Amino acid sequence: MGATIRVEGLRKSYGGRSVLDGVDLEVQAGTIFGYIGPNGAGKTTTVKILTGLLGDFEGEVRVGGLDPREQPVELKETIGYVPENAVLYEALTVAELLLFVGRLHGLDDAVIRARADEFLDVFELKSRLPTRVSTLSKGMRQKLLLTSAVLHAPQVVFLDEPLSGLDVNAAILVKNFLRALADSGRTVFYCSHVMDVVERVCDRIAILDGGKLVAEGTFDELSAARGGGSLERIFAELTGEGEDVELAERLVRALDGDGV
């Protein structure tokens, strides 16, 4: 279907400290693309650039053919975004929040209500329409956040830990929904620290470390290149996190010692 996201020579620094150092990416339409890395690797900065929230960077970026620096408003009309730590309007009811979000995207009220009813029915939240957001549980908020992010039928969806707070059944539903989005020709850019989920749901995976891409490919390609193993093991080897077992044992020894 062609590339929906193109990134060439992406660089970003904060106060002289390099956060992204020459990242090149190409994400095809109709795929779930996993983007993973340790804390501080540059994942969040990348997503902020791709979603038009951060315009001060070097390199060339296109999302759906749009330049985030030159066309940030147009870009936001075509994408959906679920951040890891979202802030919702607590005083609004669920119905009011979705109506507000839909109107921001220029949707007719009838379309907003029809889509919202369908999503909330599937997510078992329809009875919560008159409920204030402040009263919702974490899992309910996550379902509401996902609904608001895709209400305008975006062609590209950016997700940062989208399964956070969901119970097992809801998580399975969301993973199937993401697969259906990709199968419909949309692009899903998926950030997470949950390696086994990334391994199972993503068509391609990029591993970022210290602002640089250290690997990219399908899971089978990454596994073959590293002599087999899970994505968690591959990630640990490539990002220098392989001493975790020894460190964990060190913590236990500290508990068993007398501190002298």
Q: Is the pLDDT of residue 207 over 60?
A: yes
Output the average pLDDT for the chain. Answer: 93
- What's the pLDDT band for 87 if we cut at 50, 70, 90? confident
Q: So what's the pLDDT on residue 241?
A: 64
Q: So what's the pLDDT on residue 243?
A: 63
- Which of residues 46 and 253 earns the better pLDDT score? 46
Strand order in the sheet with 79-82: 79-82, 156-160, 187-191, 32-36, 204-209, 212-217
- What's the pLDDT band for 119 if we cut at 50, 70, 90? very high
> How far apart are the C-alpha atoms of 87 and 182, rounded to whole Å?
27
Q: Is the pLDDT of residue 16 over 90?
A: no
- Model pTM score: 0.91
Give the HSE-up count for residue 75: Cα atoms under 13 Å, Cβ half-sphere.
Answer: 24
Q: So what's the pLDDT on residue 242?
A: 58
Q: Is the pLDDT of residue 260 over 90?
A: no
Q: Is the pLDDT of residue 259 over 80?
A: no
Topology given in CATH for the domain delimited by 3-87+154-256? Rossmann fold (3.40.50)
Which of 153-156's residues contact partners 24+ apart within 8 Å by CB, and which partners? 154/78, 154/79, 154/80, 154/186, 155/4, 155/29, 155/64, 155/78, 155/79, 155/185, 155/186, 155/187, 156/4, 156/5, 156/63, 156/64, 156/78, 156/79, 156/80, 156/186, 156/187, 156/188, 156/189
Instruction: Give backbone dihedrals phi and psi of 185, rounded to 5 degrees, phi first.
Output: 100, 0
Per-residue pLDDT reduced to its tens digit, 225-254: 988 899 999 998 898 765 667 778 888 988
User: How much is the average pLDDT of 188-211?
Assistant: 95
Q: Is the pLDDT of residue 40 over 90?
A: no
Beta bridge mates, 170: none
Q: Is the pLDDT of residue 197 over 80?
A: yes
User: What does the block give as tokens for 208?
Assistant: 């970022």
Percentage of residues in the chain with pLDDT exceeding 90?
81
> How far apart are the C-alpha atoms of 173 and 121, rounded to whole Å?
13
Cβ atoms of 188 and 5 within 8 Å: the answer is no
Strand order in the sheet with 17-28: 17-28, 3-14, 58-63
Q: So what's the pLDDT on residue 10?
A: 97
> Poorest-confidence range of 6-10, 85-89, 103-107?
85-89
